[in-house]
Structure 1
């Protein structure tokens, strides 16, 4: 398989993703993702930065501080004092998906700002979860059943606020279900970060980078038909017809006889005929 991206960081990411949920270091995994775009990234210094943020918050609270107040103190420090905020002006910049850049520029999208909050909270023993509402990522406080919105300065959200948010994001087209509030696993969070990044690259016609993202999504969720299709499409868009064919053949081989095997075989035939006209 051609690795589209930095092989060292790809290998580190693959190894980390194999770990069980409780041992999977979300901050480190996010920095390994960034390492493919920024090979010079200093993972340890960024982890130390998160340690330092947590240490600063711990000086502002006592052992008696209730979880909800601790969460408030984290939000006040990150979004108030340090000024981390939502990058509304450049929402679709790839930088927003990379934790190193979020730490350097102090701006990001909902999911990376939520990840920042989750990782500082974890260091302080505050039990939180990432919650992937359709169109907007937030944080749930496990002990109080409350929510907060890191993209909007950590503003507290009630259940009603969450419903209103989904209604607004979907322009009223989505029926509310409590499943929207299901906590994300760490793998889910990383997959969604990559999914955002893939959309940005495909929109910008940066297909080689998009393939690198799809390959990492496949490490988290092997065998997803849509990922093979998108990877093949990216290759074909760049006239890499043999790679497109190889991707679809790998899908057929790994999936056995999937429901769409006839369509996929037709696609492969179509790609071969395109290729034969070029040679």
Structure 2
């Protein structure tokens, strides 16, 4: 039986307390209030296994915000002398010992944590010292590759993110086009991998020409709405371009270059215009 994970267990017996489920070797109780109606002996049930307040294994059909081995953004519900308790979607809150807090946790605040099993107590706990679980390099990634990212924190120049639940990376400020919060999960793309140290930069938009094509209709619509021209060019500042179109200057230059080659726009010193 796997603690801290989902598994399909067979109904072994029905009691007043609930259904006892088995993996063929061990049994675990699924409390009566969570038992499905019309369940029969021998049928499989998909459950999550954790421990109760007396450290006994117990099953639940509820879905937690993360399982053992996952990173999750959780809110602190209580701070006690021994540590903090975080809401992870189950009746029993998840414990984070003080020694596993990178900064003292505060009630009501959200933190990105790693869920794991403490080997000494054999309990499911969490830690906000997540960097020890993350690889600092992405040598197995490729530029343009789609990835899943979680926002783990912010520096003055970038958002620190967790890529595919295992790699530390950055989304630099010129790639951020929306308000991001710690714990937000987004689809992203590998923008670059630095040759000297294999550190990864992420974009929230497809990288390269395909990204430019995705913004094509937005620019054409802006041109039409403004009477066929925009007071922008490759001489405009990044701030002017982002304010008008929500694009980085690099993406804007690629886009107007593509439209110019297609004969759709003309580029002047300080203006772009629709042809015809």
**TM-score scaled by length of structure 2:** 0.26
Q: Which has the higher strand share?
A: 2
For the pair shown, which has the larger CA radius of gyration, 1 or 2?
2
Q: Which has the higher helix share?
A: 1
1 or 2 for the larger relative contact order (CA 8 Å, sep ≥6)?
1
TM (norm. structure 1) is 0.26
